A and B are shown apart, each in its own frame.
Chain A
Amino acid sequence: MEFLLVLTALAAGLLVVLRLRSGVSPGNLEILLAGACSMLWLAGFTAMRPRPDPLAGKIPAALAPAEDLQERFVGSASCRSCHPGEHASWRGSYHSSMTQPATPATVLGDFTVGELSDRGRITRFWQKDDTFWVETADPLWDFLSRNPKARSRIPDQPPRLTAQVVMLTGSHHLQTYWIRRPAGEDTWWRPDDGAYQQLPWVWLVEEGRWIPTQDSFVTPATHKVLPGLQWNTSCNQCHSVGTRPHLANDRFDTRTADLGIACEACHGPGAAHVAANRSPLRRYLQHLDGEAADPTIVNPARLPKDRSTMVCGQCHSFHKELDMTRWREEGVLYRAGDDIAETKGVFTYTTEPTHPRLLEHLKVEHDALAGRFWKDGTIRVAGREYTGLLESACHTEGEMTCLSCHAMHDYVSASDQLNDRDDDASCVRCHPAIAAQGTAHHHHPADSSGASCVNCHMPHTTWGLFTAMHSHRIDSPSATVSASTGRPNACNQCHVDQTLGWAADRLADWYDHPVPDLDADQRTLSATVLWLVRGDAAQRVLAAWTLGWPTAHEASGTGWQAPLLARALVDPYAVIRKTAAASLRTLPGFDDFEFDFVPFPQQQLGKLREAEERWRVGRDAWLDRRDTRVLLDEDGEQLADLLDELGRQRDDTPVRIIE
């Protein structure tokens, strides 16, 4: 149409010129000009008509929405013309780039790396023009090997395949890649069952390197390759919009409305809204009545407290779809504004699970609760903040919602999307009297990190993406909880050189907390050191992180942690080794310490000795604690025997924290 219009306009223009040169009559000239004007109007009208496929190019063709999805979802591109600011802020957030097609603009991983090997498996990477390829062990084999029914039908060893990378997840911490198994009749399983399988390597963005996917989570060490995920049945639930897996007869016909966490994830399907607001009259009546909600779309900020929080909770929680049969066909049934309980089971911690859906899930994932929660019921996996809020009086008894602190559009920084530069502003809005007490309440110097509401009431006891994050179960520091459940408390996360007994005594003095029964070690040795040396993997990784936390350095110095972190370089968990090395580099004399956390602990002994030797040489200049609490004698010598003894007490209960 466009081409035809251009040709017609060109012909009309040439005709005008020719007629003028040969002496045109006035009447004919008017007709020609009127014709040209009509062409312009027609062109304008045609250009303004809605495009039939606003998602073209953004979604891999095989995933493009079917007609029934298009009737309800319009895709984020359609929102831009009316909401340019909101669209721009969404594009600036990491929600928008959570899932993207693999293109040179989106792929951060180095596909010129050649060949990588892990646990006996080799993967070859290459780039061909604007496409990305791998030759690897078929990830479907690992996936099926978990399934007892399929095990007898698969080869003993994974067949190899060559596949194109079609999608990726993640954009600023790490990227994981999805391949579509190739079509063909001679493959071992089925030529192409429509599944998108996860590549066994992820790209660490900041470090600029590949690591095995299974080493990116807190998960027990194993020499086996763990199965990756299948996008159709896992990540699409939260990392895309309106995705319909459509699994039938072991084949997928998966279609999606939008990739990434896009507009309609939080505002609901937008087709009716877009159709209604094509009328300028309707739009201006809405503008003039600024207070009125548009009934054709959901605005989480206008929803009641519970429903508003559920919009975020649809993903930021430990949840499972209630009707798995329907989900396999239709995808996620929850829509923004709904009561989440109608379609999802959102689970909090329990020692006696009774929810049928939870019981069903525990058959598949036995440690689903043990891995995700501290024993006091606090969620410890990052990205499950709604689960934390469900345990917080600020939400259950107060009016707090996610939007009390966070903003999806008017945020300060994309990293946490807080709505205020002052972390404590949201707390103070509801608790002005406590804020007014100042030092009488927090017992720390004003403006110090100890005076911060979030540092005490939202301690860093959540883990994900190689870092500790604020717990979203908002509560008060408790030595009793730490003693009985092992969940670190805020006091000992800053005062990393102090004992749990010291924290218990302070909390008793200041807030009349009961003093728990503590063993001799808890009274005499640093709580964080104990968590690092003899804790379980969750405690160890958090302790390794806090020993490198600048705020803890302010309170506890930087000269004594190195030999303890050096020991953690040989921890069985790869993520703990990585965290220990990162914390080590924050200490004096270690900023250039090189360490590759991926090799198994037996291969790291040389680095352990190198770190210990470096500390021995420089410690006289660095030491700011000579204290048995941190396992040093008064000469600064490490209490190696005690350290070894505590190490033998290490809690090796398998822990999986998979965000």
Chain B
Amino acid sequence: MSDPSTTDKPAVDLVARHLRIGWWGLLVFLSLGLVLEALHGLKVGAYLDADQETRRLMWRLAHAHGTLLSLVHLALAATVAQRPGVGGALASRCLTASLVLMPAGFLLGGAWTHGGDPGLGISLVPPGGLLLLVAVGGVARGVTGRGN
């Protein structure tokens, strides 16, 4: 394994950034999971009533996507640490944006619902998803391009 601190300054910054984002993201979205569990424990009607099905789904998705995307940030950090040339600025920014857009879209979509339809916040999710694909595709291509 190469040491990015001595060979590639941008890669070192990238690793540090995604480690920060990943771990803080985990803290935020695992906390959201605890909040959702508390809503269950306290039998909060605004979350558990039969007509809140859409909200429950959206907030669970926010928790799941936030947590998993945070892990993807850590995975990117680990990848860049091992392969300093992989994951350029574009992939980094796209992945970061998707961590904001997707959980936020699900959270906002669940905050205001229209029956079986989430609120307008859900419109943040598709661009977030696209940016995630761009990021993952870029990293995948970077890994593949090196022939490793």
Residues in A lying within 8 Å of B, measured CB to CB:
26, 29-30, 80-86, 88-89, 92, 280, 283-284, 287-288
When the two chains form the complex, which single residue of B49, B116, B120, B147 contacts A82, counting CB atoms closer than 8 Å?
B116
Contact status B52-A85, CB under 8 Å: yes
Q: Chain B 105-148, CB within 8 Å of chain A: the 1/0 string?
A: 00000000011110010000000000000000000100011010
Contact status A85-B144, CB under 8 Å: no
Contact status B115-A85, CB under 8 Å: yes
Q: Is B37 part of the contact surface with A, judged by Cβ < 8 Å?
A: no
Of chain B, the residue at the smallest CB distance from A88 is: B50
When the two chains form the complex, which single residue of B51, B140, B145 contacts A85, counting CB atoms closer than 8 Å?
B51
8 Å CB interface, B45-89 against A: 49-54
Contact status B53-A30, CB under 8 Å: no
Of chain B, the residue at the smallest CB distance from A80 is: B116
Contact status A283-B51, CB under 8 Å: no
When the two chains form the complex, which single residue of A26, A84, A283 contacts B50, counting CB atoms closer than 8 Å?
A84
Contact status A284-B50, CB under 8 Å: no
A296 → B minimal CB distance (Å): 15
Chain B residues near A287: list those with CB within 8 A. Answer: 114, 117
Contact status A83-B116, CB under 8 Å: yes
Contact status A26-B144, CB under 8 Å: yes
A274 → B minimal CB distance (Å): 12
Separation of A26 and B147 alpha carbons in the complex (Å)? 7
23 contacts between A and B (CB under 8 A): A26-B145, A26-B147, A29-B144, A80-B116, A81-B116, A82-B116, A83-B115, A84-B50, A84-B51, A84-B53, A84-B54, A84-B115, A85-B49, A85-B50, A85-B52, A85-B53, A86-B51, A86-B115, A88-B51, A89-B50, A283-B117, A284-B114, A287-B114
Separation of A86 and B51 alpha carbons in the complex (Å)? 7
Chain A residues near B145: list those with CB within 8 A. Answer: 26
Chain A residues near B117: list those with CB within 8 A. Answer: 82, 280, 283-284, 287
Separation of A201 and B27 alpha carbons in the complex (Å)? 63
Chain A residues near B54: list those with CB within 8 A. Answer: 84
Chain B residues near A29: list those with CB within 8 A. Answer: 144
Separation of A30 and B137 alpha carbons in the complex (Å)? 10
Chain A residues near B120: list those with CB within 8 A. Answer: 284, 288
Separation of A83 and B52 alpha carbons in the complex (Å)? 10
Chain A residues near B115: list those with CB within 8 A. Answer: 82-86
Most chain B beta carbons < 10 A, residue from A26, A81, A288: A26
Q: Assuming A26-B144, A29-B144, A85-B115, what are 20 further A-B pairs, CB within 8 angstroms? A: A30-B140, A81-B116, A82-B115, A83-B116, A84-B50, A84-B51, A84-B53, A84-B54, A85-B49, A85-B52, A85-B53, A86-B51, A86-B115, A88-B51, A92-B50, A283-B114, A284-B114, A284-B117, A287-B114, A287-B117
Most chain B beta carbons < 10 A, residue from A80, A85, A88, A288: A85
Task: Tally B residues with Cβ within 8 Å of A.
Answer: 15
Most chain B beta carbons < 10 A, residue from A80, A81, A287: A287
Chain B residues near A81: list those with CB within 8 A. Answer: 116
Separation of A81 and B113 alpha carbons in the complex (Å)? 13
* Interface SS majority for chain B: helix
B130 → A minimal CB distance (Å): 14
B52 → A minimal CB distance (Å): 7
A85 → B minimal CB distance (Å): 2
* Interface SS majority for chain A: helix
Q: Which 8 A-B pairs have the closest CB atoms?
A: A85-B51, A88-B50, A82-B116, A84-B53, A287-B114, A26-B144, A83-B115, A81-B116
Chain B residues near A280: list those with CB within 8 A. Answer: 117
A460 → B minimal CB distance (Å): 33
Contact status A89-B114, CB under 8 Å: no
Of chain B, the residue at the smallest CB distance from A283 is: B117
Chain B residues near A89: list those with CB within 8 A. Answer: 50-51
Most chain A beta carbons < 10 A, residue from B53, B115, B144: B115
Of chain B, the residue at the smallest CB distance from A280 is: B117
Chain A residues near B114: list those with CB within 8 A. Answer: 283-284, 287
Contact status B144-A84, CB under 8 Å: no
Chain A residues near B116: list those with CB within 8 A. Answer: 80-84
Of chain A, the residue at the smallest CB distance from B112 is: A287
Chain A residues near B147: list those with CB within 8 A. Answer: 26
Of chain B, the residue at the smallest CB distance from A82 is: B116
Separation of A81 and B52 alpha carbons in the complex (Å)? 12
Of chain B, the residue at the smallest CB distance from A92 is: B50
Chain B residues near A85: list those with CB within 8 A. Answer: 49-53, 115
Separation of A283 and B122 alpha carbons in the complex (Å)? 14
Separation of A585 and B20 alpha carbons in the complex (Å)? 73
Chain B residues near A92: list those with CB within 8 A. Answer: 50
Separation of A283 and B54 alpha carbons in the complex (Å)? 15
Separation of A30 and B142 alpha carbons in the complex (Å)? 12
B65 → A minimal CB distance (Å): 17
Separation of A280 and B122 alpha carbons in the complex (Å)? 12
Separation of A81 and B145 alpha carbons in the complex (Å)? 44
Separation of A11 and B140 alpha carbons in the complex (Å)? 23
When the two chains form the complex, which single residue of B49, B50, B144 contacts A30, counting CB atoms closer than 8 Å?
B144
Chain B residues near A82: list those with CB within 8 A. Answer: 115-117
A381 → B minimal CB distance (Å): 33
B135 → A minimal CB distance (Å): 16
Of chain A, the residue at the smallest CB distance from B114 is: A287
Of chain A, the residue at the smallest CB distance from B133 is: A37
B20 → A minimal CB distance (Å): 30
Separation of A288 and B117 alpha carbons in the complex (Å)? 12
Separation of A84 and B48 alpha carbons in the complex (Å)? 12
Chain B residues near A288: list those with CB within 8 A. Answer: 120
Separation of A89 and B51 alpha carbons in the complex (Å)? 8
Separation of A89 and B52 alpha carbons in the complex (Å)? 12
B5 → A minimal CB distance (Å): 29
B127 → A minimal CB distance (Å): 16
Separation of A83 and B53 alpha carbons in the complex (Å)? 10
Separation of A58 and B8 alpha carbons in the complex (Å)? 65
Chain A residues near B53: list those with CB within 8 A. Answer: 84-85, 88
A204 → B minimal CB distance (Å): 30
Chain B residues near A86: list those with CB within 8 A. Answer: 51, 115
Chain A residues near B52: list those with CB within 8 A. Answer: 85
A187 → B minimal CB distance (Å): 47
Of chain A, the residue at the smallest CB distance from B146 is: A26
Chain A residues near B51: list those with CB within 8 A. Answer: 84-86, 88-89
B99 → A minimal CB distance (Å): 21
Most chain A beta carbons < 10 A, residue from B54, B117, B144: B117
Separation of A88 and B51 alpha carbons in the complex (Å)? 7
Separation of A451 and B144 alpha carbons in the complex (Å)? 82
